[in-house]
Structure formats: structure tokens, C-alpha cells
């Protein structure tokens, strides 16, 4: 089963603050471990929502409304994700717990979501 | 450049309601278009947040806090994502506009976010080289 | 956390840590049987204690330290050779420093590689290699392995015990193969992984819902091997082949469980992420700058199909050329038969037919139903219906698969009777 490990954006990530060198190192070490265990499918970081675009359909059947970022509710935005292929939910959680605190400043948050099976 | 098209969750998708046959078919046609254009990298739907888990680090250096779903703020949740590889931001927007309204009921919302390339993250050449090697080793997504 | 939730979590931790644990212990003890026993002991202690104490911050390090303490006790009791004892004694200090991850880093990959070379050692039977690899590297229980192969748990348990004994009797060292053996030993490892994959991939129906597990495990082992043996092109070739084949996993059978031919599959449903991973792995194999081996060539053929947006767009000329290269790397009449099909698709049935004619005297294909089936297809396309009919009938009489027989009999009926 596939799990998506979403890293939530904090204020710092949204402001475009670069992660510390220690964190970048710890993150690449973590990705290496995932790869070596054969569970890593993909890992990407997203640019801050300042360069994001939203397309909404407030009226069914009508034209979409396009808004450009930044978006305000920064706590809930996604800053990056890692896609893994594991045998159980527990295994996914164990891997997520091994990820370094992705943000620091008390803002770090990872959300795990199972992918609908293909 | 890569873009992630994030489909926002709604009350229905969070309740686990299945989309209509028409919508499923429209989505399939859309995915087919992406495949034929050679831009689709990955696309997946997510289970509702009822079986999601959140891990947070409220104190730097402290222990993580683990919380089980469901989470309440449906509008901020994600129901699925599609990753595309395109030449420009405009092309990404064009593709996103071609995606069928993912929910109907006036609730459909797609968010488009550009994916970081190694260069964006840091200017340190050693790290860039390391990241490049790691990307090749760990992700093996680029062809 | 409830007791059962803790147990499930411990299972997950075991799956993540067990291979590294066993590989690390085996390096110190030079005995994979003993290494597994000690790792299991540590697991049992964890199962007893963690429900009360909670799961430690670094469960992998905890398990390793616990297993090593047991190892020292055991070695003291058994008064085994001093050298072994000293080695463990020295290393335990590193763990006391509480920085196990750092202490082990860099060696884990080598240990895992030694472990897979041992579990796939040529002194073992093919069955034993498969069972031992699943057990020690994939961290599966004997029960899980037994269910995947649809045999009794006791059979698998027996097989594993005997395999360990064989390794002991043959005094197989826990070492990397020496240079001149490497190629052959590596191909044994790849064979085990691909066998697992095919075992899972071939199962399409009837009580076989656990079989995809084998595909998953094979893919995981392959991806792992690509990380720990990155300079071997055939490792990437095999990974590429498995990734691309897996991308069609859900489209190769219909709702009734009947196989759907590659050309008829809905390409929009192929998993693009796996295709990309496959193409990238193939590129890695190529970039090593050595001639492509059989796995990489098969992956390259699979890639041609994966890259064709519609069945009509398939680059058959390229596929025919790749089959020719494959026939040179791995001579086989079955490869020749596939080449004939590709040539017929690229250049017309007459050219395919010429190749197939040469194969009719091949003893290995004497009772192989696909030979008359392919020949019949070429003849049909050339309008030689009488000959085609008898070929399809012969193919139908040779196949043991009922669905295939029905399909072939249908083709018999489709051949117009000549005036």
C-alpha cells in the first residue's frame, strides 16, 4: 500500500526561509534510508504558496475562478511530500516518525494519508 | 519544471462518498490526455482523513505528537494530487484548467504548486551535488 | 496505546529493522542462523517489555543493543573462539555511546549485501534461497511465506532450518564473493528476485489475492539491491524490468480474471510513476557504460511498449533489434519466437514466418503451443487459411490453459473454408 507523507508548511517555509544545512543533511540521510529499505517512490518539496495558483468551481458548470497565491491559511498548506510503498499503516507511521522534524520552530507537521489503491 | 495539482477535499470526499460515474469517466479522459501529452508523472487519490495520521513537532527538539484522523477542517484537506512535468507555469495552469471540476456542488478546488528543484533549495555547491546524486539514487524519476 | 496496537507497531518496526539487525549480527558472529536467533530473542524481549515501557525513541538501536548483549552472554557461555568474542566486545562500546545509527552507517549496505549473497548461495536449492531471502531480508514470517506459496507453514519452517544447516555444513563464509565469482553469484541473486516477482505476477485469479505480495517483496528487494550494489548494470536492469511490468499490474486481467493482451490493455491506466521509475532505472543501467545484459534488454523491450502512447505507435523495429541483442546475450528459442513476432509486426508476416519455419525443428519447442499459435497467426495474415487452421488446432491441443484453448479454437473457427 502507498502512503503519502505530507509535510505541512509553517510560517517560515511560507516566507521562503531556506532550511538549515543540518536539516537538509538530515533529510537527505532520511531519504537515503528510505531508498535503501526499498520503500521510497518519490520525494519532492513544493515552493511556497506565493507562487501557487488556485482554481475553484464555486458554480457547478460555470467558469472556474482562478486566484494566485500567496494563500493565507499557511498552517494547513503543504510544503512537500514523500511517497512510500509499505506493508501496513504501522510501517508507514514508523517511517514517518523516523523523518526529521521537517520545519523546526515548533511548526513541524507531517500528515500521513493512504493512497487509494491502483 | 514540475507542478503538483492538489485537489482539495470537501465534506463529501471526507465522508468517503464515491464520485459520480460521469465524473470518474471525465477524470479518466483527463488523465488519458495528460498521458498522451507525456506530462503526467503521478496521480493518486487519497483515502479520507478518517484514517489519516498527523505527526507534529510542537517543540523543536522535543518528542513528536501523533494524532489520528479524522480532521475537521475539510476545506484545507487534500483529496488527491496529480503531478505533471511541464515547460512553464502557464502550461501548468492550462493543464489544471482542463481538469474536470473535481467535486461539483460548488466545492471543487484545485491548487497548483510548483515543485522545488535542487537549485531552489540552496546555493551551496556541495549540497547541490549531493542532492543531485541523491535524486538520481533515491528518486530515479527523471528520464 | 493498546496491547494489540503496540504489537502491530512492533511488527512494523521489525519489518523496517530486521534485515539490518540480522546482517549486522551475522557480520560479527559469522553465522546467519545464530544471528537470526539472537535478533528474534531481542524481538521477543521487546514484545514483553514495550507494551509496559512504551516504544523506545530509537527502537532499531534498542534491538541491536539487546541482541548484542545476548550475543555476548551466549559467547561467554559457549566459550567460543576468542576472536569472535573480542569483536563483539569491542563493538558494544560503540552502541553504549548511544549513537548507533552513526556507528553503523556505511557498513549497513555491505552487511545487507553479504546477507543476500549468503541467502542466495549456490549451495542452496532454489526453493531454499527463496524462503531464506524472504525470511531474513524481507522480514516475512514463515506463515506469510507459506501463504504466499500456498504450502503448509511447517514446510517452509523445515526448508529454512535445512537451509541454515546446509550453509553451516558447507561452511559458507559471511563474505562478499571474490571478484571472479561476483558475476555468477550476482546472477543467482537476481534470479531469486525475478523468480519471486514472476511467481506473484503470473498468479491472476482464484484464491491468489496474497500473490501480489510476492511482486511487492521482489520489487522492494530489487530497489534495495540497486542502492547497495549501484555499480551493477543488471541490478538496475532487473529493477527497470520489474517496475515497468508492475505498472501494468492492474490492467493485465479483466474483471473476470481473464488475461488481457498487452496490445489490448488500457494504457491510460498504466501507472506512470512506476514507468518513470523503470525508465530511470534503465537509464542508470545504460549510464554504467557496459553492454546491456538480459534483464536490461528485457527492460528496454518493456520500455518500448511503455513509451508507445497507443498500441499502433509501438516501435516494433526497435523491439525486433532488442530481441536480436537479447538472443545474443541469452540464446533461447523462445526469444527467437518473440523476435519473429516483432519482425512480423515491423516488416510483415512473411518475414516473421521465415524465422518461425527455422524454429519448427527446435526440440525445445516441440510441444510448445505458442509456436503453432504464432505460426498460425502469420499464415492467417497471409491469407493461407487452411494451413493457419491446422496450426491453431494443433496449438489448442497443446495448451493446458483452458482460456487459451477457447481462444485458439475461436481462431480455428475464424479461418474461412476455401472453395
Per-residue pLDDT reduced to its tens digit, C104-133: 444 778 899 999 999 999 999 999 999 999
Interface test with C, best of A38, A95, A116 (most C CBs within 10 A): A38
- Range with top average pLDDT, A56-65, A69-78, B36-45, C131-140: C131-140
- What percent of chain A stands above pLDDT 90? 0
Determine the pLDDT at residue B120.
46
Determine the pLDDT at residue C303.
97
Reported confidence tier of residue C286, pLDDT bands at 50, 70, 90: very high
Put simply, whether B28 touches C (Cβ < 8 Å) is: yes
Please tell me the distance from the alpha carbon of residue B108 to that of residue A64, in angstroms, as a whole number.
9
Question: C323-419: what fold?
Answer: 1.25.40
3-state SS, residue C58 = coil
Please tell me the distance from the alpha carbon of residue C105 to that of residue C103, in angstroms, as a whole number.
6
Taking CB atoms and an 8 Å limit, are A91 and C222 in contact across chains?
no
Residue B99 has pLDDT above 90, yes or no: no
Taking CB atoms and an 8 Å limit, are C268 and B137 in contact across chains?
no
Taking CB atoms and an 8 Å limit, are A116 and B106 in contact across chains?
no
Taking CB atoms and an 8 Å limit, are C272 and B28 in contact across chains?
no
Q: What is the count of residue pairs from B and C with beta carbons less than 8 Å apart?
A: 38
For C297, the enclosing helix (H) or strand (E) is: helix C294-307
The predicted complex's ipTM stands at 0.74
Q: What is the pLDDT of residues C189-210, one digit of tens each?
A: 999 999 999 888 765 443 444 4
pLDDT: which is higher, C91 or B8: B8
Place of cell 542466495: C120
Determine the pLDDT at residue C93.
46
CA quadruple C172, C176, C180, C185: dihedral sign: positive
Taking CB atoms and an 8 Å limit, are C227 and B137 in contact across chains?
yes
Determine the pLDDT at residue B73.
66
Q: What is the pLDDT of residues B53-88, one digit of tens each?
A: 878 888 877 788 888 877 776 556 777 788 887 777
**Are B85 and B91 within 8 A, CB to CB?**
no
Put simply, whether B24 touches C (Cβ < 8 Å) is: no
**What string of DSSP letters covers chain A?**
-EEEEEEEP-HHHHTTPPPPHHHHHHHHHHHHHHHHTT-EEEEEEB--GGG-EEEEESSTTSPPEEEES--S-GGGSEEEEEEEE-SSHHHHHHHHHHS--SS-TT-EEEEEEEBPP-
Put simply, whether C116 touches B (Cβ < 8 Å) is: no
- Which superfamily does B2-115 belong to? Dimeric alpha+beta barrel (3.30.70.1060)
Taking CB atoms and an 8 Å limit, are B143 and C276 in contact across chains?
yes
C-alpha cell at position C59: 527502537
Taking CB atoms and an 8 Å limit, are B28 and C267 in contact across chains?
no
**Are B139 and A88 within 8 A, CB to CB?**
no
Interface test with A, best of B2, B26, B53, B118 (most A CBs within 10 A): B53
Residue C141 has pLDDT above 50, yes or no: yes
Please tell me the distance from the alpha carbon of residue C240 to that of residue C406, in angstroms, as a whole number.
34
**Length of chain C in residues, anyone?**
419
3-state SS, residue C179 = helix
Residue B127 has pLDDT above 70, yes or no: no
Please tell me the distance from the alpha carbon of residue C66 to that of residue C42, in angstroms, as a whole number.
6
Burial class (CB in 10 A: 0-12, 13-18, 19+), C360: exposed
Burial class (CB in 10 A: 0-12, 13-18, 19+), C309: middle
Residues of chain B contacting residue A57, judged by C-beta atoms under 8 Å apart: 101-104, 106-109
Task: Indicate the domain borders of chain B.
Answer: 2-115
Determine the pLDDT at residue C160.
96
Please tell me the distance from the alpha carbon of residue C244 to that of residue B80, in angstroms, as a whole number.
23
Taking CB atoms and an 8 Å limit, are A47 and B83 in contact across chains?
no
- What percent of chain A stands above pLDDT 70? 94
Provide the mean pLDDT of chain A.
80
- The model's pTM is 0.81
Please tell me the distance from the alpha carbon of residue A35 to that of residue C284, in angstroms, as a whole number.
15
Residue C359 has pLDDT above 60, yes or no: yes
Give residues with Cβ within 8 angstroms of C18, minimum separation 6: C39, C43, C136, C139
**Are A67 and B23 within 8 A, CB to CB?**
no
Query: Which residues 35-54 of chain A have a CB within 8 Å of chain C?
Result: 35-42
Reported confidence tier of residue B39, pLDDT bands at 50, 70, 90: confident
Please tell me the distance from the alpha carbon of residue C40 to that of residue C17, in angstroms, as a whole number.
12
Residues of chain C contacting residue B81, judged by C-beta atoms under 8 Å apart: none
Taking CB atoms and an 8 Å limit, are C284 and B31 in contact across chains?
no
pLDDT: which is higher, C201 or C290: C290
Which domains are delineated in chain A? 2-114 (3.30.70.1060)
> Quick one: closest CA in C to B36, which residue?
C309
Task: Indicate the domain borders of chain C.
Answer: 1-105, 323-419
How many CA atoms lie within 13 Å of C27's alpha carbon, on the beta-carbon side?
A: 20
**By mean pLDDT, which of B8-17, C20-29, C127-136, C187-196 is the weakest?**
B8-17
**Are A38 and A2 within 8 A, CB to CB?**
no
**By mean pLDDT, which of A20-34, A51-65, B67-81, C222-236 is the weakest?**
B67-81
Amino acid at each position: 500500500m502507498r502512503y503519502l507523507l505530507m509535510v505541512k508548511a509553517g510560517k517560515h517555509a511560507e516566507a521562503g526561509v531556506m532550511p538549515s544545512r543540518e536539516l537538509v543533511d538530515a533529510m537527505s540521510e532520511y531519504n537515503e534510508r528510505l531508498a535503501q529499505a526499498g520503500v521510497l517512490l518519490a520525494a519532492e518539496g513544493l515552493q511556497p504558496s506565493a507562487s501557487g495558483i488556485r482554481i475553484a468551481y464555486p458554480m457547478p458548470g460555470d467558469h472556474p475562478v482562478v486566484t494566485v497565491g500567496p494563500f493565507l491559511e499557511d498552517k494547513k498548506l503543504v510544503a512537500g511530500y514523500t511517497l512510500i510503498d509499505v506493508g501496513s499503516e504501522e510501517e508507514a507511521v514508523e517511517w514517518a516518525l523516523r523523518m526529521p522534524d521537517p520545519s523546526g520552530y515548533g511548526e513541524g507537521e507531517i500528515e500521513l494519508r493512504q493512497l487509494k489503491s491502483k | 519544471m514540475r507542478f503538483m495539482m492538489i485537489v482539495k477535499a470537501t465534506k463529501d470526499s471526507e465522508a468517503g462518498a464515491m464520485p459520480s460515474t460521469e465524473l470518474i469517466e471525465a477524470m479518466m479522459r483527463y488523465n488519458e490526455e495528460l498521458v498522451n501529452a507525456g506530462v503526467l508523472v503521478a496521480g493518486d487519490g487519497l483515502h479520507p482523513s478518517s484514517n489519516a495520521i498527523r505527526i507534529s513537532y510542537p517543540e523543536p527538539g522535543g518528542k513528536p505528537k501523533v494524532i489520528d484522523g479524522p480532521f475537521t477542517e475539510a476545506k484545507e484537506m487534500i483529496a488527491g494530487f496529480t503531478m505533471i512535468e511541464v515547460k512553464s507555469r502557464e502550461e501548468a495552469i492550462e493543464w489544471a484548467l482542463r481538469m474536470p471540476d473535481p467535486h461539483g456542488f460548488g466545492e471543487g478546488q484545485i491548487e497548483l504548486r510548483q515543485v522545488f528543484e535542487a537549485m531552489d533549495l540552496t546555493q551551496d555547491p556541495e549540497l547541490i551535488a549531493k542532492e543531485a546524486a541523491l535524486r538520481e539514487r533515491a528518486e530515479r524519476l527523471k528520464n | 496505546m493498546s496491547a494489540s496496537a503496540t504489537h502491530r507497531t512492533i511488527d512494523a518496526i521489525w519489518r523496517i529493522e530486521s534485515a539490518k539487525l540480522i546482517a549486522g549480527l551475522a557480520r560479527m558472529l559469522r553465522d546467519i542462523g545464530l544471528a537470526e536467533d539472537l535478533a528474534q530473542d531481542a524481538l521477543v524481549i521487546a514484545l514483553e517489555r514495550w507494551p509496559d515501557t512504551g516504544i523506545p525513541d530509537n527502537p532499531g538501536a534498542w534491538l541491536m543493543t539487546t541482541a548484542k548483549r545476548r550475543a555476548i552472554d551466549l559467547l561467554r557461555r559457549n566459550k567460543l573462539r576468542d576472536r569472535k568474542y573480542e569483536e563483539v566486545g569491542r563493538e558494544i562500546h560503540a552502541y553504549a555511546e548511544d549513537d548507533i545509527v552513526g556507528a553503523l552507517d556505511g557498513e549497513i549496505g555491505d552487511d545487507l549485501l553479504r546477507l543476500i549473497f549468503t541467502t542466495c548461495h549456490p549451495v542452496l536449492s532454489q526453493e531454499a534461497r527463496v524462503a531464506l531471502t524472504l525470511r531474513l531480508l524481507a522480514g516475512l514470517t514463515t506463515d506469510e511465506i507459506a501463504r504466499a506459496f500456498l504450502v503448509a507453514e511447517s514446510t517452509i519452517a523445515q526448508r529454512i532450518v535445512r537451509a541454515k544447516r546446509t550453509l553451516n555444513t558447507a561452511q559458507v563464509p559471511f563474505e562478499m564473493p571474490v571478484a571472479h565469482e561476483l558475476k555468477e553469484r550476482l546472477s543467482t541473486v537476481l534470479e531469486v528476485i525475478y523468480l519471486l516477482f514472476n511467481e506473484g505476477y503470473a498468479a491472476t485469479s482464484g484464491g491468489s489475492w496474497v500473490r501480489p505480495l510476492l511482486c511487492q517483496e521482489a520489487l522492494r528487494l530489487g530497489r534495495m539491491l540497486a542502492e547497495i550494489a549501484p555499480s551493477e548494470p543488471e541490478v538496475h536492469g532487473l529493477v527497470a524490468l520489474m517496475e515497468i511490468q508492475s505498472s501494468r499490474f492492474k490492467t493485465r486481467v479483466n474483471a473476470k480474471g481473464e488475461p488481457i493482451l498487452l496490445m489490448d490493455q488500457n494504457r491510460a491506466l498504466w501507472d506512470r510513476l512506476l514507468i518513470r521509475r523503470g525508465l530511470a532505472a534503465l537509464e542508470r543501467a545504460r549510464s554504467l557504460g557496459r553492454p546491456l545484459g538480459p534483464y536490461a534488454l528485457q527492460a528496454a523491450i518493456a520500455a518500448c511498449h511503455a513509451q508507445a502512447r497507443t498500441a499502433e505507435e509501438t516501435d516494433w523495429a526497435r523491439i525486433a533489434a532488442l530481441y536480436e541483442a537479447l538472443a545474443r546475450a541469452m540464446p533461447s528459442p523462445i526469444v527467437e519466437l518473440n523476435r519473429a513476432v516483432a519482425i512480423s509486426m515491423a516488416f510483415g508476416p512473411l518475414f516473421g514466418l521465415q524465422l518461425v519455419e527455422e524454429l519448427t525443428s527446435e526440440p525445445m519447442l516441440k510441444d510448445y503451443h505458442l509456436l503453432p499459435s504464432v505460426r498460425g497467426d502469420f499464415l492467417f495474415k497471409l491469407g493461407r487459411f487452411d494451413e493457419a487452421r491446422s496450426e491453431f488446432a494443433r496449438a489448442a491441443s497443446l495448451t493446458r490453459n483452458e482460456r487459451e484453448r477457447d481462444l485458439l479454437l475461436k481462431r480455428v473457427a475464424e479461418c474461412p473454408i476455401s472453395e
